[in-house]
Amino acid sequence: MIDTHCHIDLHDRPLDAISKFTSRQMECVSVTMLPSHYKLSLPHLEAYDNIHASLGLHPLRAREGKRELAQFIQLAKAAEYIGEIGLDFSRDGKSTRALQEEMFAEVLPSLKGGKFVSVHSRESAKKLLEMLSEARVAPVCFHYFTGAPSLAQEVIQAGHYMSFNLRMLTGRHKSLLSQVPAERVLIESDAPFLTESPHLAVANAYSTVAKHWGITLPEAEGLISRNFLRCRTARDITC
């Protein structure tokens, strides 16, 4: 099983979270908020093949992030996993909307080249999709998507994926799973925001989607693993 969006570095006991993933043979994309956080996490994670350090520049940290933008672009050359990046136009993020858009535009060229990219799109999915399409960046994974069903269709038509957490599968957004083809579904914990036990939340989410699709758990694991391998941005043919 694979957790495609987990903030390991924000856990009270990051090493505990890692050992629980490792003992259960689970993989995890360890997203970060800032390039400096990513850099700090690298020496801790390099011993684990199943934990993927992911280079982030979170939209709600845009003011600090601006000072680290050059570092992001430099580190992105070697990073295979990018996130958490994106836009946030909710009440929490709207004061930096212009800055977020400006920074995301600068980040876009760094996303190509076979990378796994996890994006935050709270109240901003329309604009985010537009910017990705203009820059011809696809596919990426929309994490915790909460937009309208029509927008979900646009995301899927543009070739992107969506990562579902347990709250999305059981709460008011649960109808979304029926609107997304199984071959575009990934699973995330969004820990520690949604849960203190990402390994349990992810296992539970896998069982929930398997049941929804009417397949066995091993079949769901195989399907989602193949999705994870396919969800890599296209390599630029011109370079």
Per-residue binder mask for Zn ion (CB under 5 A), 43-82, x = binder: ----------------------------------------
| Nearest-approach distance from CB 216 to Zn ion, in angstroms | 30
Q: Which of 68, 84, 88, 188 binds Zn ion (CB under 5 A)?
A: 84
Q: What are phi and psi of 123, to 5 degrees?
A: 50, 30
CA distance 73 to 91: 28
User: In terms of Cα–Cα distance, which of 29, 23, 27 is closest to 4?
Assistant: 29
Piece of the chain touching Zn ion by CB under 5 A; list 84-92, 96-104, 149-157, 200-208? 84-92
What angle, rounded to 10 degrees, do the helices at 125-134 and 149-157 form? 20
Q: Quick one: DSSP state of residue 55? A: B
State the amino acid at position 106 in one-letter form: E
CB of 204 to Zn ion, least distance (A): 18
Contact 82, 108 (CB under 8 A): no
119 DSSP β-pair partners? 85, 142
* Least Å from the CB of residue 107 to Zn ion: 16
Of residues 102-141, which lie at the interface with Zn ion (CB under 5 A)?
A: none
CB-nearer residue toward Zn ion: 31 or 220: 31
Q: Does 188 bind Zn ion (CB under 5 A)?
A: no
Radius of gyration for the chain, computed over Cα atoms and rounded to the nearest angstrom: 17
| Closer residue to Zn ion in complex, CB, 143/220 | 143
How many residues make contact with Zn ion (CB under 5 A)? 1
CA pair distance 180, 158, nearest whole angstrom: 13
Round to whole Å and give the CA distance between 198 and 185: 18
Element (H, E) at 6: strand 2-6
CA–CA dist 89, 24 (Å, integer): 37
Shortest separation between residue 197's beta carbon and Zn ion, angstroms? 16
Least spacing, CB of residue 56 vs Zn ion, in Å: 8
Residue number with the smallest Cβ distance to Zn ion: 84
Least spacing, CB of residue 82 vs Zn ion, in Å: 13
Q: Which is nearer to Zn ion, 3 or 210 (CB)?
A: 3
| Nearer residue to Zn ion within complex by CB, 142 or 228 | 142
Which residues contact Zn ion (rule: CB under 5 A)?
84
